[in-house]
Amino acid sequence: MSAPRVVPMEISTQLLLTTADFAGTAVFAATGVLASSRRRMDWIGALVLAIVTATGGGTLRDLLTGQLPVFWIRQPLYLWIATGTAIFLLPLLHRIRFPERALLLPDAIGLALYTWIGCEKVQLLGLPGIVVVLLGVMTGTAGGIIRDVLSAQIPNILLKGELYAAASIPGAVLFVVLQSLNVEPHRIAAACMLAVLAIRLAAIRWHLMLPTIAEDSDSGGTH
């Protein structure tokens, strides 16, 4: 099977993508450090959690699309950004006790950034819109899932009714729709990220939940 066709990118779009990619790496690395502090991990554990959180979603995306070696091997600066973020934050965590909900805001920002980044990188390969949506959402959510699993937490995406992946999906769909309408790339980026961020923050602020499948109370009985 031939490799996906790579679509050329304007310099301004490439700069925006690279900047957002590095910012997302730092933000998600920060969520890994915050999660490690809640579980009272040592510095090595915190560093590992920061790196896998920052690189997990993009690694899975690159593996599924055949972009090998994966992005952080091609460009080790991602590892240095994640490591530097962890080293900067770890001393602060010894002096400042962050509230339990401190993880939610940077996680929402990282979700928004990585959803758009995932969509942008996948569409550059010329793949169908539904694949762009799926891998965009995967890029946005996979790092947080790995972080939560390694820190012995139930991933947000699996919490009953939690608007996590459901916040990412509309942003990814909006990306594909605007792309098909030939909207300017920076406007697509802003719309996609703002949609994800707004939905996720609204869900946190007002405790918005998805409807769940009702369990039949008589299902265990005889008929």
Q: What pLDDT is attached to residue 66? A: 97
Q: What pLDDT is attached to residue 168? A: 97
Q: What pLDDT is attached to residue 156? A: 83
Q: What pLDDT is attached to residue 157? A: 83
Contact between 18 and 116 (Cβ < 8 Å): no
d(CA 56, CA 142): 6
Q: What pLDDT is attached to residue 161? A: 80
d(CA 85, CA 76): 14
Full-model pTM: 0.89
Q: Phi and psi at residue 151, in whole multiples of 5°? A: -100, 20
Blockwise average pLDDT, block size 10, the chain, 223 residues: 57 85 96 91 94 97 97 97 96 81 92 97 96 98 94 84 92 98 94 97 92 61 48
- Domain locations along the chain: 11-206
